[in-house]
Amino acid sequence: LIIILKSRQIGASWLMSVYDLWFAKFHDSAEVHIVSNKETAAIEKLSKCKRIEKHLPAFLRHTITDNQLEMHFVNQGSTIRSFPATASASIGYTASILDMDELEEHPYAEQSYALAKPTIDAGGQYIGVFTVNKLKAVTLAKTLFEDAWEHPETSSFKALFFPYWVRPGRDEEWYAKTMQEVPEAELEGLSKELYMEQAYPRSVKEALAPSRTTMLFDFDALDGMKEDIGSHVSIKVLNAELDLNVINIYQDYTLGQYFIAATDTSKGYAQDNSVTCLMNVRTGVIQADIMRNDLSEEELAFHSVALLERFKSPLWYIEANGPGGVTISKARTLRYKNLGYQDEKRTKVGFLTEGHKTKEGLKGT
């Protein structure tokens, strides 16, 4: 399993086409699937495989039959198929390779990743290739890459990064000239500096840094919080009916303190964490949390209730998205007595973040 973050125009698409072709030519009964964000892109990617095959020496060429979306190797029984990135792309096949071209732009990336599970479980390859889009804050491509890059020891993916200068002839002089000549039509609201970070990144940090123009929160403050995470060390809690393999307690409950809690239940895609966070209202310090990617919605509720009851059942807001609804239902079954509500009449448990495009709208939740 490989996830590749790349600069534009470094030949990655051609390299993947060579690999796809090689695999189909020299592995019997192979199913190589190219999934691109649009049908025209899928056809173009497959045409690269055909062009490479056509220009090979005669002794390396194979007998093929083909159409616009398929390339079949008669003697090997192998096929390269291209698909547009629909919600059910390549469903019905168990692929040897899933070549997810420009994964950042796939409109149904999470759904297709879930459908790829039979391929992955059967030992097939899932290779995601992408250039970042800074106007999209959270995507499957970014999530897979960040997890693999920051936690290589636990991620099932191998993360690879290729900056702008891997292509010969590109240096800082080229970079400055290219930035100066970027057409206004390509910027899509980004500054020229942000556009270059998006299209021709120098580093992973530069590539993944969000656009400040689209952020709801202060980037420097969030960066500081991220650095502060390293200073949190779990303490040992004695005689507690808590699973401390799941629950992290950094400062235990003390009399006279007040707390508030919130939960974000993961959708389960791309090893995203489910999180319950407990904050001291007076100090703003996170005193305990749960951060796991292997809990069901019901298990998250069970462990969260156990944690929060140790802190005298503070007001608890649960994000009321799809999986969050299951967590809310389980919390009610467990008779948690202090759930937060969206409305004054207390008819809608939890909170929602969808549909808010401004800081004010999000704070209003």
* Sequence spans of domains, the chain: 2-210, 219-363
Neighbours of 283 (CB within 10 A): 11
Which amino acid appears at position 148 of this protein?
A: A
Which amino acid appears at position 248 of this protein?
A: N
Euclidean distance between CA atoms 14 and 45, whole angstroms: 8
- In terms of DSSP bridges, do strands 70-73 and 64-66 run parallel, antiparallel, or are they unpaired? antiparallel
Euclidean distance between CA atoms 125 and 97, whole angstroms: 5
- pLDDT-derived band at 352 (thresholds 50, 70, 90) equals confident
pLDDT higher than threshold 70 for residue 360? no
| Residue 180 Cα to chain centre, angstroms | 32
Looking at domain 2-210, its CATH superfamily turns out to be P-loop containing nucleotide triphosphate hydrolases (3.40.50.300)
Euclidean distance between CA atoms 29 and 263, whole angstroms: 46
Most confident of the following: 10-24, 61-75, 199-213, 338-352? 10-24
Neighbours of 321 (CB within 10 A): 18
Say if 2-210 and 219-363 have the same CATH topology.
Answer: no
Taking Cα atoms as reference points, which of 328, 331, 332, 350 lies closest to residue 341? 350
Residue 114: predicted pLDDT: 83
32-74 pLDDT, tens digit each:
999 999 999 999 999 999 999 999 999 999 999 989 899 999 9
Q: For the residues 105-109, what does the mean pLDDT come to?
A: 89
pTM > 0.75: no
pLDDT higher than threshold 80 for residue 227? no
Taking Cα atoms as reference points, which of 113, 104, 178, 181 lies closest to residue 135? 104
7-41 pLDDT, tens digit each:
999 999 999 999 999 999 999 999 999 999 999 99
Domain at 219-363: CATH architecture: 2-Layer Sandwich (3.30)
Euclidean distance between CA atoms 171 and 275, whole angstroms: 42
pLDDT higher than threshold 90 for residue 88? no
